[in-house]
């Protein structure tokens, strides 16, 4: 295994950095650096997607025939690292990073021709309809029904924790089309238009005060049979394929940027008569976190090397999800510790939240108590609590590793 970058790869990385720095204006960079969760300000995210699309870089991970790039695994990694290091806002993943892959893999030619170009431009914006009030990690327990009626399915039920449902005009859902046989056998993967009678979106106010997530209710809503991805009753297979893209990814570059920023912030924060970074207990915890990021990066590079040889990542995406999300949580804990008492104030106007904060009125003069990073720290802390739950809880990921990697 060779973990050294070749001269060609180094040149590629420099080219990507130059393009990103050129396109990333101060407002977009501000949205990326001040984001309170993995979901940035929606308008900024879409503006950044438009810029990347114009440069042919919005979806380099897609198949070439649908607008992707014929890059090596190493080039994809270097591109993502350049984006993280530049402080670019992330793109909403549900369409461009998730459902697009299953449309490309399982969709009909008509579905590919309609949805994929419109996902790239942002004309079609997806949210994800998996979890239900009584079906979270045990996703096969879902009950939202889809009953055939002519060329349509009639939909009844609800989905919950639906990120960006208030902005989306389509939702990809797992629905129950049969109650016979194994629970997984009666599930279908269906694309549903949001802008229709019978679809109601109700915001959920999170601990951070933001309304990024929602509950979506379906009361005799409809979707065409032509919107089934794959085959009726085979949605579980499609969903498992999609989850590999939701759980995988390169975490280490973004975590390193955050850890370096925290080190700078701790150098200005005071702990009595000295800087917090000089307090041995805090310095040790931050150094340990940075070491774990180093370990995660090496593991990502090992997987990258395997992928470059055509080997399947498989269950190891679960390992990346566990390590990445738990390290992110740990960094927010350290940031909150560094923020001190100032970090207890609720000041979302210092940040760029991923959605509206109902009932909050920012000071007219925009005053922030303490430094901006101290005001952002508690919001990130509260948002990161979800990291070990979404995309399948980390307990489920450990079960997957125990079964498929350790053979237990």
Give catalytic residues, as residue numbers.
246
SS3 203: strand
H-helix or E-strand spanning residue 35: none
Q: What are phi and psi of 149, to 5 degrees?
A: -150, 95
User: How would you classify the pairing of strands 145-149 and 187-193?
Assistant: unpaired
Contact 171, 125 (CB under 8 A): no
For CA atoms 226, 227, 230, 233, the dihedral sign is negative
Range list of β-strands (E), 52-207: 126-129, 145-149, 152-160, 170-176, 187-193, 199-204
CA–CA dist 46, 258 (Å, integer): 23
SS3 270: strand
How far, CA to CA in Å, does 163 sit from each of 12, 126, 130, 209, 317? 34, 10, 11, 14, 22
CA–CA dist 55, 58 (Å, integer): 8
Q: Is residue 308 exposed (0-12), middle (13-18) or buried (19+ Cβ within 10 Å)?
A: middle
H-helix or E-strand spanning residue 332: helix 316-339
CA–CA dist 175, 189 (Å, integer): 7
User: How would you classify the pairing of strands 126-129 and 170-176?
Assistant: parallel
């Amino acid at each position: 295994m060779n973990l050294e970058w070749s001269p060609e790869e180094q040149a590629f990385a420099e080219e990507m950095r130059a393009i990103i720095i050129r396109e990333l204006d101060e407002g977009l960079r501000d949205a990326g650096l001040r984001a309170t969760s993995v979901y940035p300000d929606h308008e900024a995210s879409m503006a950044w997607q438009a810029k990347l699309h114009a440069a042919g870089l919005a979806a380099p991970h897609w198949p070439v025939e649908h607008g992707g790039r014929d890059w090596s695994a190493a080039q994809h990694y270097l591109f993502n690292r350049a984006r993280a290091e530049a402080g670019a806002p992330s793109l909403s993943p549900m369409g461009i990073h998730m459902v697009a892959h299953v449309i490309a893999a399982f969709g009909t030619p008509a579905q590919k021709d309609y949805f994929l170009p419109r996902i790239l431009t942002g004309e079609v914006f997806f949210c994800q309809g998996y979890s239900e009030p009584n079906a979270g990690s045990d996703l096969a327990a879902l009950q939202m029904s889809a009953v055939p009626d002519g060329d349509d399915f009639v939909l009844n039920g609800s989905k919950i924790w639906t990120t960006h449902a208030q902005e989306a005009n389509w939702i990809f859902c797992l629905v129950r089309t049969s109650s016979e046989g194994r629970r997984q056998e009666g599930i279908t993967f269906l694309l549903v238009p949001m802008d229709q009678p019978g679809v109601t979106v109700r915001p959920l106010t999170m601990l951070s005060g933001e309304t990024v997530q929602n509950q979506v209710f379906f009361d005799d809503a409809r979707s065409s049979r032509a919107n089934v991805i794959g085959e009726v009753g085979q949605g579980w297979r499609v969903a498992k394929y999609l989850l590999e893209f939701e759980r995988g990814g390169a975490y280490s570059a973004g975590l390193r940027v955050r850890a370096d920023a925290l080190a700078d912030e701790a150098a200005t924060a005071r702990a009595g008569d000295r800087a917090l970074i000089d307090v041995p207990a805090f310095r040790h915890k931050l150094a340990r976190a940075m070491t774990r990021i180093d370990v995660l990066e090496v593991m990502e590079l090992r997987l990258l090397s395997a992928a470059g040889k055509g080997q399947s990542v498989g269950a190891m995406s679960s390992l990346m999800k566990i390590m990445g999300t738990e390290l992110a949580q740990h960094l927010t804990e350290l940031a909150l510790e560094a923020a001190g008492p100032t970090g207890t104030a609720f000041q979302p106007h210092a940040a760029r939240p991923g959605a509206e904060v109902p009932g909050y009125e920012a000071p007219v003069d925009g005053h922030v108590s303490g430094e901006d990073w101290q005001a952002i720290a508690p919001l990130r802390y509260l948002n990161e609590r979800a990291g070990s739950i979404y995309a399948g809880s980390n307990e489920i990921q450990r079960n997957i590793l125990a079964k498929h990697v350790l053979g237990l």
